Structure 1
Amino acid sequence: MSERMVRQFMEMVRIDSESGDEARFLEYLLGEVKALGGAAALDPYGNLIASFPAKGCKGAAPVLLSCHGDTVKPGVGIEPVLDGGVVHSGGDTILGADDKAGIAEVLEALRVAPVRPPVEFAVSRQEEVGLFGVKALDFSRITARRGFLMDNDTLDTIVIGGPTYFAIDVKVIGRSAHAGMEPEKGINAIHAAAKAIAALRLGRIDHETTANVGVVSGGVIRNGVPAECSFLAECRSGDHAKAVALVEEMTRVIRTEVEGAGAAVEVAVDEKCRAVRIPEDAWAVRIAKQALAAIGIDAKAVFITGFTDASIYNNHGIEMAVVGIGAQDEHSTTEHVAVADMENAVLALVEMLRLAAA
């Protein structure tokens, strides 16, 4: 099992699929899914949706398995290395185990599971940059009402919820002038943006709420009063009302500080996903816990303030628990995955399918 799965995983990560550039990888995956006997197609947005018939059972409800096909940067030219039972990148790129390890594990489980209910398999685009793929998914092609998202790192946790997340894009407009000859004629957009950022409450607000400014850009030349400055901020909370109140506060502070500095400002707010939490005794959580316990892993249900495709599925009424794939140090050039963890993920998934077919 492991040799075949690892070989395919390493083949997959060699196919570039940074967010927005997943087409070649998803076309590859389409062929692999069809070769396993799945009825598969890409939806209008380019997400892959497949279905597999039941095996060794009759009358069981369908189960949805899902992953995402995109990776973060730097993800071009990945060259995986298998060393001492661990797969890692060459050191100048990510590995792409997030989420191609999950995809490889799903494919292997579909190959080897002796019993399974009808299975639907969805692989989304552009998860890493805002869940765009799953938001545009053709849900008319999904009949399952419960399932598992293979996109958690550790095998001993099961994610049962995620936050409301707001992206805040800010453009500050000042007025250019020569910084040495006539600075009084200018309005420094960077200074106005800095005042706004300094006035924001950032970092951990409470146990389930955070805010951040992650990107600032502006100015053209050293000796010019900058006419424009942009910054990208965010806030998130496990409590939707808290997130709404915080984004309103941040927007108000930004406008007040920028306009107080004499500049104009444009603020665009985008709700990327809404807080959702499934019960710890939900069917998907119970099945995942039982399956992991069968291979000796005592998994705990956790709520995270990161977001995954499961938030969108759950808000669409499809009960999804997020289970582990074994990836470590995701989104970094030290990303890696142990073959033993991938094997355990497959064993757990095979058991989940058996329990779901019962």
Structure 2
Amino acid sequence: MKDFEREKLLEIFEDLLMIHSPSCKEEKVADYIINFVKELGGEVYLDESQDKYGGNAPTIFAKFLGEGEGITFSAHMDVIEPNKDLKIIKEDKIWKTDGNTTLGGDDKGGLAAILYSIYYILKNNYKHRDIYAIFTPGEEVGMLGARNINWEEVYKNMKPAKNMIVVDNAGSCDKVAYKAPTSYTFTFKIRGKSAHAGIEPEKGISAIMLAAKAISQFKILRIDEFTTANISNINSDFPTNVVPDYVEFSGEIRGHDKDHVLEILEEYQQIVRNLTEDFEFEKTLDYPALVPSDMEFSKEIIRSYKNIGVDAKEVIIGGGSDANFFADEGFNSLIVGVGMEKVHTKEEYLVLEDLENTSRAIIDYLKLD
């Protein structure tokens, strides 16, 4: 690719890495991105919804007017702690940390790929598509930025293209994720009847026993190819000589078919109902499903990867991201990677060739010449 500046890409990446931006405290990296976009002549709109969840940075919308069908890119600004006082160990093929912090390649690598690609297109005066970008805070703690966007106000100021690439996939750059599950957190609160466990236990009803009988009948862990569930917390705190009359347990269920997920949650309730009527059930949507609306877009992105020598393939993933909320808003969202490995750990590293290749693929897709 003519005049591709690998050192400029890595300079942007390093600039971003060295700005400490834990979840809900992304103000400084947001300032960097806003200045970067404005210096390139881009239009900026700020969604100031951070007060809803105690953050200090807006969701940034950027626009660079071009020609033809547009595209929207997205990446998140926050990183997993511990990340303060990062020391980057630069090797020929990877960047990693000294083992005391996370790297923050998740998702500073995604930010760098987007920003450099726009920089490259504009610097070289290429004819290009309309380019939009959305940079979100709070992704790592529940997709808070994407979840709380005031879309009504956004659309009064900017209308991002519905075809979207979220640059936030773990692993190598040869995977284009087009489908991801919805997730619900659920909680059961079961009441029994208290009694002295040593003198007259038969007069009691153990809430713990009711819960155990119920859970033993639940479909959990791998339910089918595209559905999983897990019980992660059980709480009941009583003296050993008291039949426990209360227990609470909670978990999550993920699946690519929302209706199937809700059916399983109803099955759970019926199982408990068959044992006792004295219970409460709560469910909370963690994130909606990522479902493709136009697979032709995915094929176009894969062609761009192949144009730069990467044999990319469509994949289905099992986790949630901002892409799920964007899909729920009507965006045709795909997720691509930049070589993030061992994310969310102090052993995190980023494969530089993957970062470069995704940047090249983005540029290939943007160019109209």
TM-score (norm 2): 0.80
User: In the alignment, does 2:62 pair up with 1:51?
Assistant: yes
Q: 1:119 aligns with which of 131, 134, 149?
A: 131
Partner of 1:3: 7
Cα shift at 1:161? 1.5
1:205 to 1:91, Cα distance in 2 relative to 1, 3 A: same
Partner of 1:93: 101
Task: Read off the aligned partner of 1:42 and give its amino acid letter.
Answer: L
Q: 1:18 aligns with which of 8, 22, 44?
A: 22
User: In the alignment, does 2:281 pair up with 1:267?
Assistant: yes
- Secondary structure of the structure 2 residue equivalent to 1:249: helix
Tell me the alpha carbon deviations over residues 205-242 of structure 1, each in whole angstroms, 9 at most, x when there is no partner.
11111111234556499999888765441111112221
1:163 to 1:37, Cα distance in 2 relative to 1, 3 A: same
Cα shift at 1:305? 2.5
Maintained 8 Å contact 1:30/1:41:
no
Larger mean CA deviation between 71-80 and 155-164 belongs to: 71-80
Task: Read off the aligned partner of 1:27 and give its amino acid letter.
Answer: D
Maintained 8 Å contact 2:96/2:347:
yes
Partner of 1:60: 68
Task: Read off the aligned partner of 1:245 and give its amino acid letter.
Answer: E
- Secondary structure of the structure 1 residue equivalent to 2:116: helix
Larger mean CA deviation between 109-118 and 2-11 belongs to: 2-11
Maintained 8 Å contact 2:180/2:319:
yes
Larger mean CA deviation between 302-311 and 157-166 belongs to: 302-311
Maintained 8 Å contact 1:131/1:308:
yes
Larger mean CA deviation between 128-137 and 157-166 belongs to: 128-137
Cα shift at 1:245? 0.7
Q: Take 2:271 and 2:235, find their aligned partners in 1: how far apart are those partners?
A: 19
Maintained 8 Å contact 1:37/1:52:
no
1:18 to 1:248, Cα distance in 2 relative to 1, 3 A: farther
Q: 1:34 aligns with which of 38, 42, 50?
A: 38
Cα shift at 1:203? 1.0
Q: Take 1:80 and 1:221, find their aligned partners in 2: how far apart are those partners?
A: 51
Maintained 8 Å contact 2:290/2:333:
no
User: In the alignment, does 2:327 pair up with 1:309?
Assistant: no
Counterpart mapping for 1:203-282 below 5 A: 203-216=221-234, 219=237, 230-253=248-271, 259=276, 265-278=279-292, 281-282=295-296
Partner of 2:336: 323
Q: Take 2:343 and 2:13, find their aligned partners in 1: how far apart are those partners?
A: 16
Partner of 1:296: 309
Larger mean CA deviation between 230-239 and 219-228 belongs to: 219-228
Show structure 2 runs of 5+ residues with no match.
Answer: 51-57
Partner of 1:332: 345
Task: Read off the aligned partner of 1:317 and give its amino acid letter.
Answer: G
User: In the alignment, does 2:138 pair up with 1:138?
Assistant: no
Maintained 8 Å contact 1:166/1:247:
no
1:24 to 1:266, Cα distance in 2 relative to 1, 3 A: farther
1:194 to 1:296, Cα distance in 2 relative to 1, 3 A: same
Maintained 8 Å contact 2:37/2:62:
no
Q: Take 2:34 and 2:280, find their aligned partners in 1: how far apart are those partners?
A: 42
Show structure 1 runs of 5+ residues with no match.
Answer: none
Maintained 8 Å contact 1:150/1:324:
yes
Maintained 8 Å contact 2:253/2:261:
yes
Task: Read off the aligned partner of 2:284 and give its amino acid letter.
Answer: D
Task: Read off the aligned partner of 1:287 and give its amino acid letter.
Answer: E
Cα shift at 1:12? 2.4
1:279 to 1:20, Cα distance in 2 relative to 1, 3 A: same
